[in-house]
Amino acid sequence: MNKALLGKWNWRYATEREVLWKKVISHKYGVEEGGWCTRADRGRHGVGLWKAIRKEWLGMYSSLAFRVGNGRRVRFWKDKWCGDEPLYESFPSLFAISQAKDAWVSEMWNPDGVGDSWTPLFSRALNDWEIEMMEQFMLKIQAFRVQRVNEDKMVWTTSKSGVFSVKSLYSILEPGGSAMFPYVGIWKASVPPKVAFFAWEASWGKILTLDQLQRRGYSLANRCFLCLAEAETVDHLLLHCVMTRTLWNLLFSLFGVEWVLSGTVKDTLLGWHGAFVGKIRKKAWQMAPLCIFWSVWKERNSLAFGNEVLSIQRLKHSFVCNLWSWVRMFIVLSPRSLVSFIEWLGFCYR
């Protein structure tokens, strides 16, 4: 509940205008472009209240969208204002050739043309196979217009009213809520930030697996790059592929446990409890599923883009070395050799 209450202050900062407390906070921490939140406090020390509040902003962001008014505070490509995901996710190939990847919505709107119009600019002429995608892109954004006399507004997507409530955020953050999310298993795990963010996207089914690309209009065959047998979805790739299963079996063997995986990435992380392992080794246990996700994704991309041939031994080696590296990075009293690390993993289970 405490995190949900902190989230309310993030919402108040974003939506309340000329109030004294907001001016004081903005002066102390600075303001991100757009003005929806303060800059993150990068200091290594201190336990200030606003520092704790600002940390919860990222956990809220996936449930936020924007209603465009004048378009001066909403990013054209990177914010969620035109559908249920940002345009850079819906049209990644167009985003790649955009001349203004950080442009505001207002900068892409031409109010002086006949009937007003959108004017996105690209760095080169379109290929023939991109024309249909451009038509879909223009059709999508033409359903929206910039209203110069209105302010942009932030919308809380988990409530029908669009207004934030502590209860709705609590249902996302806490087990037993109507919309459970593995917050602790992702953001509290001792892993590099890019790995946590990848796990967050995977939990929402947003990583660009082949089924996602098909839904975005790409004409391509869908066959898992690892097993070459099943269709590639996020849950198949990271959990159920026979090749990925070798990593899960290796993990359970190293820890000396028996475990049944859930059907989805989100449910797997929600059920990933390690109270039986001890305080220090619990960190390694919490890292492990994210390490498998990351190792599998890197291997998958090597197969997809690097003309590599799948090697189970390379995949296992990558997983074990990644996990060992993170343990050495985040746990002070950790094994210094690979052999002692493997022995250390299984020690408390014997």
Q: pTM of the entire structure?
A: 0.53
User: Domain for residue 208, yes or no?
Assistant: yes
Name the residue range of residue 30's domain: 2-63+158-173
User: Domain for residue 149, yes or no?
Assistant: no
Count structural domains, the chain: 3
User: Domain for residue 153, yes or no?
Assistant: no
User: Domain for residue 30, yes or no?
Assistant: yes
Tens digits of residue pLDDT in 15-31: 998 899 999 999 988 99
| The pLDDT of residue 95 is above 50 | yes
Question: What own/partner pairs with CB < 8 Å and gap ≥ 24 does 163-170 have?
Answer: 164/7, 164/8, 164/11, 164/15, 166/1, 166/4, 166/5, 166/7, 166/8, 167/4, 168/63, 169/3, 169/4, 169/7, 169/8, 169/60, 169/63, 170/1, 170/3, 170/4
Give the pLDDT confidence score for residue 177 in this predicted structure: 47
| The pLDDT of residue 172 is above 70 | no
| Residue 165 and residue 159 in contact, taking contact as beta carbons nearer than 8 Å | yes
pLDDT band at 313 (very low <50, low <70, confident <90, very high): very high
| The pLDDT of residue 112 is above 80 | no
Give the pLDDT confidence score for residue 45 in this predicted structure: 47
Indicate if 273 and 330 belong to the same structural domain: yes
User: Domain for residue 57, yes or no?
Assistant: yes
Indicate if 267 and 240 belong to the same structural domain: yes
- pLDDT: is 342 or 27 the higher one? 27
User: Domain for residue 81, yes or no?
Assistant: yes
User: Domain for residue 146, yes or no?
Assistant: no
Indicate if 75 and 202 belong to the same structural domain: no
pLDDT band at 308 (very low <50, low <70, confident <90, very high): confident
pLDDT band at 36 (very low <50, low <70, confident <90, very high): very high
Indicate if 223 and 289 belong to the same structural domain: yes
Compute the average pLDDT of residues 126-153.
89
